[in-house]
Every structure is written in C-alpha cells, then in structure tokens.
Amino acid sequence: MSGTTLADGLRYAVSSGVATLTFERPERHNAMDPAMRTRYGRTLREAERDPAVRAVVVTGDGRSFCPGADLDALAGIGATGVADEEVAADDGGHADVLAAATVAKPVVAAINGGCAGLGFVVACAADVRFAASGAKFTTAFVRRGLIAEYGIAKLLPELVGRGRALDLLLSGRTFTAEQALDYGLVQEVVPPEELLTAATAYARELATYSAPRSMALIKEQLRVEAALPLAESARRATALMVESFGHPELAEGVASWTERRPPAFPPYPSES
C-alpha cells in the first residue's frame, strides 16, 4: 500500500518508513463499527507485508482516539442476545482488534483523546503507547453489562499488574493519561499539540535504527516466551541468537556502529 487512502473510517498514509493509521469517523467520534474493525485489521496486515513500512502509528482524528464499539451496532441485540451461529460467523473479529499485537512490525498508539472499551483494547494491543495530557481512559465494559472483551483480561494484567487490572475492569472508572503513566499503561504523556509529532518521531527512530527482522522476532519472543519457564526461554533465545548470526543484519549492525552511520538494514519481510 502507498499514498493516502480513507475507507471505512480509517485513513492510511506512509511516509519515511512509517505508516500512520487514523481513526476518522467524526459523526461517531471514531466509534468502531464492524466495517472499521475489519479495515483496521486488514490494513495492519497489509502494512506488515509492505517492505516500505518499518513501523506503524495508530491515532484518532479530532478529540477522540476511539471511544469503543459503535453502540448503535449493539442496540439491536436486545435482551435475547446473539445466536451461536452469529458468534461463530464473527469469530475472526478478535484477530482484527488485536492485530497490533500479532503483526511483525512495531505499532505505536498515539492516544489523542477518549479511549474506551474496544478502543482501549486496541490501544493495549499496541507495542508502545503515547498519550496526550488530559486524555481520558476507561475499560467501560462492566458499565455496559459486558465482560472483559477481546483478550483484555490477558493484556491488561501484563501491562499494569493483576491488582490494577482488576480495579480498572471491575470499576470501569474513568482515569487520565497522567494516571495511565503512573500505572505503567502508557510510556509517554505529552501536550496534545505535540502528540503525533512525538509518536511519529519515535516510530521513525525505530524505522531508521532498529533491524526490522530483529523487531519482528522480539515481538514474537515476548508473545511466546512470557509463558515459558526462565531456563526454557533462555534456551529458545540462544537458538534464535545463533540463527541470527547467519543473517545480514548482524554484519550491517556492527559495520554501521563502527562507521558511525545509520544502518541500512534489509526490509522484513524481504522484497525477494
């Protein structure tokens, strides 16, 4: 993918190795309907396959990041719930919501405003989170009569610890970007007018100095090795390290360091 596109409430643009995905449904304050959710997952996977993209920034247009699912889509469910066959037909939805966690390229969330429910899960699935000062967060699910959706019951404790995760999920209370920083949920809080610039600069640094293959493998290591005993994690990492010796990234990383220049790492996946 290249250039700038807008479809299903998602704007996509690529510049200097960084893809920017912007939620843009102003009439619904960037609430996510099924078409937008599908487009988000599909676009991230297309960016993953694009050798011109080395890092991704996800943000929202206007005053909201994503306030969650479009409640108009939920209003029709009613007290009878959803039939089992409808749940089965929608089984792939979680893969789109969690796409940032599974693609092989780093994803930086630039949380510019309201971040709730489904949007909160999208932010937690990113690898790094920047937030605008004063931005508001809430898990929201319990206050809509819902459960901890789309894997947030696993993601959130890994980010903030079990006690804080239970607090945020059971209360559904609103908290600020500054509190999110204190909890360890976000890594940086910056003035709203500096948010996208700061997040993009960080993503561009990854795109310039970090080997794409290394970043892909490190993301995969964190997914897999978090569930392994320490000794098994170390053995697996050693095997990956030895394998890395046979790839061109190591030679280029050493050469660029000794020659005091930015590295020219090959894309991942390769263009061949």
Domain ranges (residues) in the chain: 4-207, 211-258
CA distances from 214 to 102, 117, 241, 245 (A): 15, 32, 10, 12
Question: Omega before 267 cis (within 30°)?
Answer: no
Place of tokens 């996509």: 12
Task: Report how far residue 232's alpha carbon sits from residue 2's, in angstroms, rounded to the nearest whole number.
Answer: 41
CATH number of 4-207: 3.90.226.10
Q: Going residue by residue through the chain (272 aa), what tens digit of pLDDT does each one get?
A: 556 888 889 999 999 999 999 999 988 889 999 999 999 999 999 999 999 999 999 999 999 999 988 877 665 555 555 544 444 445 558 899 999 999 999 999 999 999 999 999 999 999 999 999 999 999 999 988 998 899 999 999 999 999 999 999 999 999 999 999 999 999 999 999 999 999 999 999 999 999 999 999 999 999 999 889 999 999 999 999 999 898 898 899 999 999 999 999 999 876 54
